[in-house]
């Protein structure tokens, strides 16, 4: 069992994978999207297929007051499109995924701040943060989901915030 964390960005979509024991998240790279995160769908599906992912946690960028703005609505559309695209590919025999992984949205407020802080602690200079911050944000999102699973005693699902 492996989980995938996704941080949607305008330039890059950051990815993180869990270990099979669902205890630790680690960076799994970025997908360049040039202003359209929907361009990353096929590459994310490739990761799901290659890594046998059965749970996807997509960051939901709520506003600081907890309400949804344009970015949160876009994240919801992106997650729905991911499920639709996987289903279509399965129906057409274009992928080896046997079932659509569960896809949940997780409140990601302040994950970028946390990612920058972690990169500074790892002595990555501020100038060099940009290529790493999206995947580190995906790590923070995924680790939050993994930690939440342990705190709530949920074995096979993350809580949707």
Specify the pLDDT at position 156.
44
Buried b (16+ CB within 10 A) or exposed e, 122-145: eebeeeebeebbbbbbbbbbbbbb
In this prediction the pTM is 0.84
Give the pLDDT confidence score for residue 133 in this predicted structure. Answer: 74
Looking at residue 35, its pLDDT comes to: 85
Q: Which residues of the chain have pLDDT under 50?
A: 152-161
54 in Cβ contact with 1 (< 8 Å): yes
Q: In angstroms, rounded to a whole number, what is the distance separating the alpha carbons of residues 13 and 46? A: 14
Copy the structure tokens of residue 111.
């994950």
Domains, the chain, with CATH or none:
2-152 (3.30.420.140)
Contact 96, 46 (CB under 8 A): no
pLDDT at 137: 87
Phi first, then psi, for residue 150 (nearest 5°) are: -70, -45
pLDDT of residue 157: 41
Q: What is the pLDDT of residue 114?
A: 58
Please enumerate in sequence order all residues whose Cβ is within 8 A of that of 11, keeping only pairs 6 or more positions apart, or say none.
Answer: 32, 33, 34, 35, 134
Residue 86 CB partners (closer than 8 Å, separation 6+): 45, 48, 95, 97, 100, 101
Measured CA to CA in angstroms, residue 112 lies from 7, 9, 94, 109, 135 at distances of 9, 11, 35, 8, 10
Taking the CA of residue 14 as centre, how many other CA atoms within 13 Å lie in the half-sphere pointing to its CB?
25
């Amino acid at each position: 069992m492996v989980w995938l964390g996704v941080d949607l960005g305008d330039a890059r979509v950051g990815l993180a994978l869990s270990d099979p024991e669902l205890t630790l998240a680690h960076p799994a790279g970025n997908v360049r999207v040039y202003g359209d995160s929907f361009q990353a769908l096929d590459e994310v599906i490739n990761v799901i297929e290659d890594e046998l992912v059965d749970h996807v946690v997509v960051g939901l960028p709520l506003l600081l007051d907890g309400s949804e703005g344009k970015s949160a609505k876009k994240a919801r559309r992106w997650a729905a499109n991911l499920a639709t695209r996987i289903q279509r590919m399965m129906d057409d025999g274009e992928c080896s995924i046997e079932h659509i992984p569960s896809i949940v949205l997780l409140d990601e407020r302040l994950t970028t701040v946390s990612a920058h802080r972690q990169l500074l602690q790892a002595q990555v200079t501020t100038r060099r943060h940009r290529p790493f911050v999206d995947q580190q944000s995906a790590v923070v999102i995924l680790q939050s989901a993994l930690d939440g699973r342990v705190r709530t005693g949920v074995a096979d699902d993350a809580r949707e915030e």
